[in-house]
């Protein structure tokens, strides 16, 4: 195995970055040494440091977006929105920390008071994904640092350059080098980091398979916080929607944004059988107009390549499995350049597929499912072990109310895409989509723990029941 990790541009195959593989134990030890001093600073001090970080990123916005585009293959316009989210996350996290972890004191009997305050865990490990190599790990890191934790961050081995750039911005803003450490490496380094005795918790964004592995690994460490933000097999139900063009735009965005490489992308389109042809026709018109090209093409593409050849091969194999089981292609999944991981958007009717795989197809494949009634649509939406995002497109509020009440997911939208969840609200899923630790605005909850104190200024104590009478010596 090489002692260097190399990052390649998926659009061209060119090498863009390399660095030596790191050592998990050494990085955790450095963070442990630096943590007490960082935790001893006031919250105000840490908040101002995070604001300096936002200013550093803002000054490097174009450069950072350029790197993200080259490393992930996502269009430049989309990479710029990711960097903007990194900047915006700071003020959102500051507000969230104040609201979610406030100090409170209540007066109690006999001059006592009850106080609730919060402490940082210590050293938190962060494992980041490749689809949003800056925004998603940043959503863990900023709340963790505000709370007073030190962080060891291992970016995805597919996007290490973006992760390294993010850490560089933290250091330039004045976060001590020991307080946020970069661990370069692949799956072995990630497993080693998760197994380190010196971490007090792990914050993970990635696949359900990775989350299951971590859950098993942490089974004998209940004292360590584990926040899992996993994938989804997300349903979108379109039912009695009068504006077909608007509905088609929402469906297309939900399914194919980021080349389908978002955990919130719609994977299943559920429609009323016999009344779906016009809507599907509008979706196909938009699909046929989607530009698939390199990130800096002119005009800008809607989709770039997927992350690498292995990912493209896997999406193709999942699509072929659906076909082999009886799925009927409406728009085929094509690979225009065999040597590069470009994929065209696909739509496949899987209504008659028996034993349909309940997997997250992390690419531009949308499955069409026709049902007879709205109750059947809800049943189909829940026909998954996942529970991240769901959306219903309908003009009828009562249908939305039924959908919201009965669909099991952490994000449920009405006449909006499944993707693009706001950072100003909690984010996360149920089932195989996570472990009920919503991130985004609620990240403050898992970055600090509450401490309850009963306090009195004077020492008062006495036992009134259950004691033998005190011995009193006689005078005789």
**Which CATH number characterizes residue 370's domain?**
3.40.309.10
Tell me, yes or no, whether 293 and 378 share the same domain. Answer: yes
Tell me, yes or no, whether 166 and 279 share the same domain. Answer: no
Query: Is 216 inside a domain boundary?
Result: yes
Query: Dihedral through CA 220, CA 222, CA 226, CA 230, nearest 10?
Result: 60
**pLDDT tens digits for 396-425?**
999 999 999 999 999 999 999 999 888 999
Give residue 476's pLDDT: 59
Query: Is 160 inside a domain boundary?
Result: yes
Tell me, yes or no, whether 225 and 275 share the same domain. Answer: no
Tell me, yes or no, whether 226 and 238 share the same domain. Answer: no
Q: How far apart are CA 160 and CA 157, in angstroms?
A: 6
Tell me, yes or no, whether 440 and 410 share the same domain. Answer: no
Q: How far apart are CA 183 and CA 195, in angstroms?
A: 14
Catalytic positions: 229, 263
Tell me, yes or no, whether 64 and 169 share the same domain. Answer: yes
Q: How far apart are CA 383 and CA 372, in angstroms?
A: 16
Q: Give the side-chain half-sphere CA count within 13 A for 170.
A: 30
Q: How far apart are CA 301 and CA 77, in angstroms?
A: 9
Instruction: Specify the DSSP element, H or E, that contains 445.
Output: helix 443-447
Q: Where residue 44 sits, what CATH number does that domain have?
A: 3.40.605.10
Query: Is 157 inside a domain boundary?
Result: yes
Confirm if 101 and 119 have CB atoms less than 8 A apart: no
Residues 6 or more apart whose CB falls under 8 angstroms from that of 246 comprise: none
Residues 6 or more apart whose CB falls under 8 angstroms from that of 261 comprise: 131, 306, 307, 362, 363
Cα of first residue to Cα of last residue in the chain, in angstroms, is 91
Tell me, yes or no, whether 226 and 239 share the same domain. Answer: no
Distances (CA, A) of 184 to 4, 20, 190: 9, 7, 9
Tell me, yes or no, whether 293 and 311 share the same domain. Answer: yes
Tell me, yes or no, whether 169 and 274 share the same domain. Answer: no
Closest CA to 68 of 84, 89, 46: 84
Closest CA to 255 of 172, 366, 153, 178: 366
**Tokens at 106, concatenated:** 């209540």
Give me the helix-helix angle, 76-100 and 43-59, nearest 10°: 170
Query: Is 428 inside a domain boundary?
Result: no
Tell me, yes or no, whether 215 and 240 share the same domain. Answer: no
Query: Is 297 inside a domain boundary?
Result: yes
Tokens 């600090």 -> residue: 448
Give residue 109's pLDDT: 75
Query: Is 139 inside a domain boundary?
Result: yes
- Give the 3-state secondary structure percentages of the chain, helix then strand then coil, rounded to 5: 40, 20, 40
Divide the 476 residues of the chain into consecutive groups of 10 and give the mean pLDDT of each group.
88 96 98 98 98 98 98 98 98 97 85 92 98 98 98 98 98 98 97 97 96 93 96 97 96 98 98 96 98 97 98 98 97 94 98 95 98 98 98 97 98 96 93 94 96 89 90 73
Query: Is 467 inside a domain boundary?
Result: no
Host domain of residue 363: 234-421
Give me the helix-helix angle, 135-147 and 76-100, nearest 10°: 20
Give the chain's domain count: 2
**Tokens at 83, concatenated:** 């960097």
Asked whether the bond before 284 is cis by omega within 30 degrees of 0, the reply is: no
Tell me, yes or no, whether 355 and 444 share the same domain. Answer: no
Query: Is 468 inside a domain boundary?
Result: no
Distances (CA, A) of 273 to 209, 224, 327, 348, 395: 34, 49, 16, 15, 18
Helices (H) and strands (E) in the chain, counts: 14, 19
Q: How far apart are CA 98 and CA 340, in angstroms?
A: 47
Q: Is the dihedral of CA 463, 464, 465, 471 positive or negative?
A: positive
Give residue 1's pLDDT: 46
Tell me, yes or no, whether 75 and 42 share the same domain. Answer: yes
């Amino acid at each position: 195995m090489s002692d260097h990790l190399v990052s390649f541009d998926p659009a061209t195959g060119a090498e863009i970055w390399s660095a030596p593989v790191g050592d998990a134990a050494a990085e955790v030890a450095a963070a442990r040494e630096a943590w007490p001093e960082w935790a001893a600073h006031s919250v105000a001090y840490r908040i101002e440091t995070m604001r300096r970080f936002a200013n550093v990123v803002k000054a490097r916005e174009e450069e950072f977006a350029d790197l993200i585009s080259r490393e992930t293959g996502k269009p430049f316009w989309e990479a710029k929105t990711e960097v903007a989210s990194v900047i915006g996350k700071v003020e959102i996290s500051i507000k969230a920390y104040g609201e979610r972890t406030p100090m409170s004191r209540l007066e109690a009997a006999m001059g006592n008071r009850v106080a609730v305050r919060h402490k940082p865990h210590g050293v938190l490990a962060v494992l980041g994904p490749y689809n949003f190599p800056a925004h998603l790990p940043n959503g863990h890191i900023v709340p963790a640092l505000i709370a007073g934790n030190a962080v060891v961050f291992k970016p995805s081995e597919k996007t290490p350059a973006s992760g390294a750039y993010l850490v560089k911005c933290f250091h330039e803003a004045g976060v001590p080098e020991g307080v946020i450490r970069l661990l370069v490496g692949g799956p072995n380094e990630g497993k080693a980091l998760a197994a380190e005795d010196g971490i007090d918790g792990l914050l993970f964004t990635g696949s359900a398979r990775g989350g299951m592995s971590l859950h098993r690994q942490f089974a004998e460490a209940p004292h360590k916080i584990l926040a899992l933000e996993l994938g989804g097999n997300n349903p979108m139900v379109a039912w009695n929607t009068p504006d077909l063009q608007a509905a088609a735009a929402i469906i297309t965005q939900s399914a194919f944004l980021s080349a389908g490489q978002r955990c919130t992308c719609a994977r299943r389109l559920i429609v009323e059988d016999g009344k779906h042809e016009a809507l599907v026709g509008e979706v196909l018109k938009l699909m046929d107009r989607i530009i698939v090209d390199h990130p800096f093409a002119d005009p800008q593409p809607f989709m770039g390549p997927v992350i690498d050849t292995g990912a493209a091969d896997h999406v193709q194999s999942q699509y072929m499995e659906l076909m082999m089981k009886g799925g009927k292609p409406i728009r085929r999944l094509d690979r225009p350049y065999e040597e590069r991981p470009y994929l065209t958007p696909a739509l496949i009717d899987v209504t008659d597929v028996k034993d349909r795989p309940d997997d997250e197809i992390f690419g531009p494949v949308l499955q069409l499912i026709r049902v007879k009634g709205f109750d059947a649509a809800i049943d189909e939406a829940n026909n998954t072990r996942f529970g991240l995002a769901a959306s219903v497109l309908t003009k009828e509020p009562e249908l939305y109310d039924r959908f919201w009440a009965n669909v099991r997911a952490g994000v449920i939208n009405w006449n909006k895409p499944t993707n693009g969840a706001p950072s100003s609200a909690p984010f996360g899923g149920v089932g195989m989509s996570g472990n009920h630790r919503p991130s985004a605005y609620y990240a403050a909850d898992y970055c600090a723990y509450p401490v309850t104190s009963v306090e009195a200024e004077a020492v008062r104590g006495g036992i009134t029941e259950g004691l033998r009478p005190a011995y009193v010596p006689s005078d005789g």
